Structure 1
């Protein structure tokens, strides 16, 4: 299997405040070891030099840049994140991948640069202050065994940047050692497969790693800069063998031509990979494709030639609790896909616990 090329930034910018923090030294050590030579410590805390002559050029510059910044107070306060976990903890914001349906489009301000937070101690402190609180897993009958859960991948793919940050390993190790109490766990989703360092960590089974998987045609066409599907499934197996709780984030599912056959093949491949793993703890989360008017505009500016279907006339409008509108598949399509996935998952991967469908 051909190893996935690991993303390495062409440029690293460090804000003045971030440059004074100890975790920044570790980040820069890793960047230098990865061959990054363009490292700029700014005189202030405002990021500069990230815009090009066009949106497409700005996108290209941002995607090659890693910014080391200080997480503001608003980021340090854990936020509820149903139905995934009790709380959200942000190690970074922004992602190096090139997914044409990017979940972050329209939700992050400014150029899509990857910002990693240097004040890691303060970021992770929220795990301790919110342990024992929450309504998704903490204290529930169905998922209470997970303890209070903290999602690390709402605004980034932490494994995709781990070799130049070290933030993910630090979080896993601290939680595993019980630094924030015994009744907490962290979880994240990734489309990358570089898990060699993770399998060596003393995680104490307090981390759940979910591999984001999809039909071959969708992954091949719309998920640029990520690991191929066989590599992700192999990473899932390696993590499970190392004792991690693992999971599948099947997302975003789309009713493309031949979707049943392609997703059936995907589930069969996963079943083959984990069938002989002892003490397997496997979950599944299934998310259908959706978009907003603003995210569509951003995505079309980033990927003007995309073949991703974003036709409002083919969708149903779903109102959010904040008054926004998402375009989702029609009720009949959603019902058909949900029924099929529920049956197929139960038949092919009966050991997988379906956490939610959305």
Structure 2
């Protein structure tokens, strides 16, 4: 699927020298023969991108025109236990889309265009070895009733990545061959090329959804909410397990009323087959002061919804960062009300995970 030029129009590629020795690296470079190439020591430390405050105003241009290619060094699996059992090594980092609440810029700096890791064979081999060591899932749990689930898209959106190279096709093919595991990733972009990947039920796509009113403000450069919902039936027919990812839930005046038409739209659109296999996760917004400062420079309207210190409190994350989350007592009430509304409108949609 060729992406529209307003989303991706690669003009410059930053690459580690080792990229050229990998077949996937050679394929990507051949795809963009006219892009200017800049060799860098590390995909993670590019002075003109990362940590450069001046890039805040060029946020969208950089996402559209820049691509980073590197070799993934760490190929270990991290336990998760929430949305997945394990977090697999990322085959990408950053995104062409620009959701105002995205956590990746908090860690990566002032610009986070797509970084693709070209050592896909090594990543797939590491996942396969880890899956083999796990054996059979001991018992059903909130993640899955039968299989170990690996999140393969923690730091990017694989639906967009799939337009650049075949890393995602390779990952879907890998899990198709593994008898005791599934791959899983969340997406806000509808890429119908994925319908030809033949996942045979072994890849779970979580379409991220939120109320249309707030999505129009904070889901920048993503597929429209209606398009994501309409794609669910097609992806189920193509052999994917398709779940919903209500994330992030953002609290503002009237937010609960705005979710009612969303749930009704889902119910009216989904086929019986899609409804039968439907599950969901619910994740309320987590924000961060440095990201707030960046957003004020390129998208201040979003911060009217995201930055609510009257409703939020500081919380240290598992990674040691100081983030803002909704005050615990209020959040629990809002979460309960959200779940009750979901159960009323979509009674067949089991909630796997809520936070």
SS at match of 2:173: helix
SS at match of 1:308: helix
Aligned mates of 1:323, 1:49 — CA distance in 2: 26
The question of whether the paired residues in 2 share the 8 Å contact of 1:88 and 1:154 is answered with yes
- From the superposition, tell whether residues 140 and 326 of structure 1 become closer, same or farther in structure 2 (CA, over 3 Å): farther
User: What aligned pairs does 1:310-349 form with structure 2 within 5 A after superposition?
Assistant: 310-321=307-318, 323-349=320-346
Q: Which residue of 1 aligns with 2:213?
A: 217
- From the superposition, tell whether residues 222 and 4 of structure 1 become closer, same or farther in structure 2 (CA, over 3 Å): farther
User: What aligned pairs does 1:144-223 form with structure 2 within 5 A after superposition?
Assistant: 144-176=144-176, 178=177, 181-195=178-192, 197-223=193-219
Aligned mates of 1:322, 1:168 — CA distance in 2: 27
Q: What is the CA RMSD across the aligned residues, in angstroms? A: 2.8
The question of whether the paired residues in 2 share the 8 Å contact of 1:17 and 1:45 is answered with no
Q: Does 1:282 align with 2:283?
A: no
Q: Does 1:230 align with 2:226?
A: yes
Q: Which residue of 2 aligns with 1:99?
A: 99
Q: Does 1:82 align with 2:96?
A: no
Q: Does 1:118 align with 2:118?
A: yes
Q: Which residue of 2 aligns with 1:139?
A: 138
- From the superposition, tell whether residues 334 and 202 of structure 1 become closer, same or farther in structure 2 (CA, over 3 Å): same
The question of whether the paired residues in 1 share the 8 Å contact of 2:315 and 2:325 is answered with yes
Per-residue CA distance 1:231-277 (angstroms, 9 max, x = gap): 01112221112231111110111222222222111111112222432
Q: Which runs of 5+ in 1 are unaligned?
A: none
The question of whether the paired residues in 1 share the 8 Å contact of 2:49 and 2:110 is answered with no
- Aligned length, in residue pairs: 345
Aligned mates of 2:333, 2:144 — CA distance in 1: 31
Structure 1 range deviating more: 334-343 or 248-257: 334-343
TM-score by length of 1: 0.86
Q: Which runs of 5+ in 2 are unaligned?
A: none
SS at match of 1:277: helix
Aligned mates of 2:169, 2:329 — CA distance in 1: 43
Per-residue CA distance 1:303-340 (angstroms, 9 max, x = gap): 34543331334312334345543322123431332222
- From the superposition, tell whether residues 161 and 332 of structure 1 become closer, same or farther in structure 2 (CA, over 3 Å): same
The question of whether the paired residues in 2 share the 8 Å contact of 1:289 and 1:328 is answered with yes
SS at match of 2:198: coil
Per-residue CA distance 1:171-199 (angstroms, 9 max, x = gap): 102221x1xx311110001000122x211
- The structure carrying a bigger helix percent of its residues is 2
